[in-house]
Amino acid sequence: MDVNELRRDFPLLDVGKENPIYFDNACMTLRPRQVISKIVEYYSEYPGCGGRSVHRISNRVTEEFEGSRDIISCFLNAPDRDSVLFTKNTTEAINLVSMSFPFKKGDLVIGTDHEHNSNLVPWLRLKARGLIEYQPVPSCPEYEFDIEAFKELVKGAALVTMVHVSNLDGRRIPEKEIVDIAHDRGVPVLLDAAQSVPHMKIDMKGIGVDMLTFSGHKIMGPTGTGVLACDPEILKGFDTFLVGGDTVKETTYDKADFLPPPKRFEAGLQHYAGFIGLGEAIRYLDRIGPEEVHRHEVDLNLYATDLLKDKIRVMGPKEPTRRSGIFPFIVDGMNSHDIAMMLDELGNIAIRSGHHCVHSWFNSKHQESTARASFYIYNTKDEIKFFADTLESIVSDFT
């Protein structure tokens, strides 16, 4: 992978000497020209409605839209292409599961103790309504996943729903072991893969996971796009979440006859441009190769850790190879927002600061916040060096 050649595909990085250093990729990635062009292609060449009319414009929309479903299904090695449901984002996908899964009153749902709010709040809402119980698996002292505690909790569970790779510190759960243990007890597993699908090879059939979600905006795709890939047998037991146009075969004044998946879960006119663009983003990533992406991110994390190990405290796994592209850090005595603002002002460096939508973890540890740089395929070691020098200067001036 020639990173300098690849950077030319991203307009924000190909505009001259004043390019920003974009290290906020765990929040949202940049989009290549190929994705932007695909979106423009829809609005320019076939800006119609798919699946409803019989004219050639509508047929082209349907072809491109459903073609993206095929691309995504193949990329994930999903159980079935019709089990790939389009949503607005990971948050909506998990809400779809929470509102559609056939829970019985008092059923137990298990998560981790460092879930993104997207995979915590939907379950807390059901708990507050008295519909389910929710229990996070407590981490070991070094914040590793406690597989023995999980083995005990899962015995009485109805659903396991866990973050695959944490946006907080890059930590990855032992997904295959978790799935095998849960399945031995007849419990299905949902993986929040928003931070893993863009960064590593994911094989749903190989893992054996029942449900998996991710967001388009974290994988070089358009905002407002997401995916829930689900085992077809589990989908059969789901209630409908959003209903209306495009979800039904027929209606009378008395009843509605719903379509099979995926259509019964994709109510109303769809974000055609977005999902056509998402398919192009997946195609772009697949050409590079998820394994190559992961190798590049780890290489950058190793370099950043080596340059800054004596200047800051890196949070999460001590070994950089286990943090993928996530580089979370603390400067003792400094507020993370101040660090982020100074990096932006002094170096045109964009990072994230705060609680990273994992408030529950910070509140349980009585910790204020962290700064987080996050790397992707278009970032370079030269950018890492400039970031490290700028941060070192900030820390030196402050202390």
Those residues whose C-beta lies under 8 Å from the C-beta of residue 242, and which sit 6 or more positions away, are: 265, 267, 268
- The yes-or-no answer to whether 3-23+290-398 and 35-287 have a common fold is no
The residues carrying an active-site annotation are 357
Smallest CA-to-CA distance from 209 within 237, 239, 173, 240 is with 173
In the chain, where are the structural domains located? 3-23+290-398, 35-287
How do the pLDDT tens digits run along the chain, 399 residues long?
799 999 999 999 987 667 899 999 999 999 999 999 999 999 999 999 998 889 999 999 999 999 999 999 999 999 999 999 999 999 999 999 999 999 999 999 999 999 999 999 999 999 999 999 999 999 887 778 999 999 999 999 999 999 999 999 999 999 999 999 999 999 999 999 999 999 999 999 999 999 999 999 999 999 999 999 999 999 999 999 899 999 999 999 999 999 999 999 999 999 999 999 999 999 999 999 999 999 999 999 999 999 998 899 998 888 999 998 999 999 999 999 999 999 999 999 999 998 899 999 788 877 889 999 999 999 999 999 999 999 999 998 877
- What's the per-residue H, E or C state across 313-355? EECCCCCHHHCCCEEEEECCCCCHHHHHHHHHHHHCEECEEEC
Burial of 173 (0-12, 13-18, 19+ CB in 10 A): buried
CATH class given for the domain over 3-23+290-398: alpha beta
The pLDDT value recorded for residue 85 is 98
- Asked if CATH classification 3.40.640.10 holds for the domain at 35-287, the reply, yes or no, is yes
Chain position carrying tokens 């030196």: 396
* DSSP conformational letter for 194: T
